[in-house]
A and B are shown apart, each in its own frame.
Chain A
Amino acid sequence: MEIKKTSLNKLHQSNNAKFVEFAGYEMPIQYSKGIIEEHKFTRSSSGIFDVSHMGQLFIYGDESLTEELEKIFPLDLKNLKQNCSKYSFLMNEDAGIYDDLIITKIEEGYLIILNAACKDKDFDILSNLLGSKFRMNLDNNRSLIAIQGPKSVEILNSIINGVDQLNFMTGNWFDSDNQKLFVTRSGYTGEDGFEISISNDKAEQFVENLIEKGAQLIGLGARDTLRLEAGLCLYGHELDINKTPIEANLRWAISKSRLSNGGFIGSKKIMNQMQDGASQIRVGIKPEGRLIAREKTKIFNDKDKQIGEITSGTFGPSVNGPIAMGYVDKEFSKVDTKILLEVRGKKHPANVCALPFYKKNYVKGVN
């Protein structure tokens, strides 16, 4: 299959990107400055991320669409205000996660942002569940640009006036340069920031304007270290079809009213796990010293019994040390539990720790 390219591919090239294949797309893993500098620049200033490979699924409909979607997602969508976003997941009957996503209620229906590797399958699953009653558009004509970090609000507001009035996890349509952009205040780095949905033919010029105002392009490498420091899950690592939201310690993302009544796909399993507890749970892990424990590293207790596995592990540039997330048996999931990580045949000490590794800087209560 031919590798897909986003509308910013030429711009990545002219900024000396190193490319990798990710979910069938040629994506920049880093630019000339490297992952650590890109990471730190995002935390201190403003980083631009091309996330156009992600799916932008528009589903059009009225209250009857809300009712149908409540049968699928563990959210109180009836009480979700227009232009407000929620983090959620598409699950099977066993509460296994097909994908994690952000869903926003818009005037015309809903906008759902899906992971690149899952978007086509998600579309098929949702089409089957919803039938032909509602128009669905997995929009390939729009790019998605994230701008993240403390200076992003000032930079973006100078181009799209009014975005500074958005609260975290809300969005709206804005007019800029004779076109409609959908902007949400959100992101996946632990910083204040925005995601902008923009038509493909305008994306490159838009990003060049952001760069002119002082923002810099950041690759997927730093996106990964940023999200891991922020304690956020990445599909295919922390989350997959064999993990439930309860095991992934994402109970907070399930609306309280839905926990008691159920009625969504996977609700029985979720309610059972709420009562009996999950046998394994996602935790933060801090190796002692500088050792990095990467994905698939086995976790042991002090009696040489395997109690879990790392799902993501790297060096955290802002933490200035190694960090990881993984799943451990429930009895080892308490903060400060001593565990051992097997790296290159030797066991190394580590501690279960609270997430995030890096304090989040989201903006709430603008209005």
Chain B
Amino acid sequence: MSEVKFSKEHEWITLEGDVATIGITKHATEMLGDIVFAELPEKGSNVEKDGTAGVVESTKAASDVYTPVSGEVVDTNQSIVDDPAKINEDPEGSAWFFKLKIKDSSELDTLMNKEDYDKFAKETSN
């Protein structure tokens, strides 16, 4: 599996072959608070880089989930729809959001590595 990359919209992404797994970062869940609702893109649909590909709602507010790369949705994680609290518990592991068959692996080059993302998250949360 590839190195984990991060977007400025607080998504993480890993790549295995041409299938990417995408979720939201621990930092994002800490900013959102208790997550109580998740909506995922439809399997078989196509999503565009930086376009909306879902929604999460905390007790406080709704936030869009964006996709950091383009592709076709090949799988979604129903378990986080059924029990959204899982997203707070394990956001960068079992609570992934969706998997994409990606179109253009060079789109990943624009994303941050962990070190850069941690720095970015720290700077933007103040």
Contacts and interface: CB of A to CB of B under 8 A. Distances in A.
A315 B33 contact: no
Contacts of A225: 59
Given A34-B34, A315-B36, A290 B84 contact: yes
Contacts of A294: 61-62
Interface string A64-79: 0000000000000000
Contacts of B59: 34-36, 221, 225, 314-315, 317
* Chain A binding surface SS class: mixed
A47 interface: no
Contacts of B61: 294
A292 B62 contact: yes
Given A290-B84, A292-B57, A344-B55, A315 B62 contact: no
B122 interface: no
A221 B34 CA distance: 11
A35 B33 contact: yes
A291 B84 CA distance: 12
Interface string B44-67: 000000000001010111100000
Contact of A35 (B34, B37, B55): B34
Given A292-B57, A344-B55, A36 B37 contact: no
B83 to A, nearest CB: 10
Nearest to A34: B34
B84 A221 contact: no
A34 B84 CA distance: 15
Nearest to A321: B36
A291 B34 contact: no
A35 B34 CA distance: 7
27 contacts: A30-B33, A34-B59, A35-B33, A35-B34, A35-B59, A35-B60, A36-B34, A36-B36, A37-B34, A221-B33, A225-B59, A290-B36, A290-B81, A290-B84, A291-B37, A292-B36, A292-B37, A294-B61, A294-B62, A314-B59, A315-B36, A315-B37, A315-B57, A317-B59, A322-B36, A322-B37, A344-B55
Interface of A: 29-30, 34-37, 221, 225, 290-292, 294, 314-315, 317, 322, 344
Interface of B: 33-34, 36-37, 55, 57, 59-62, 81, 84
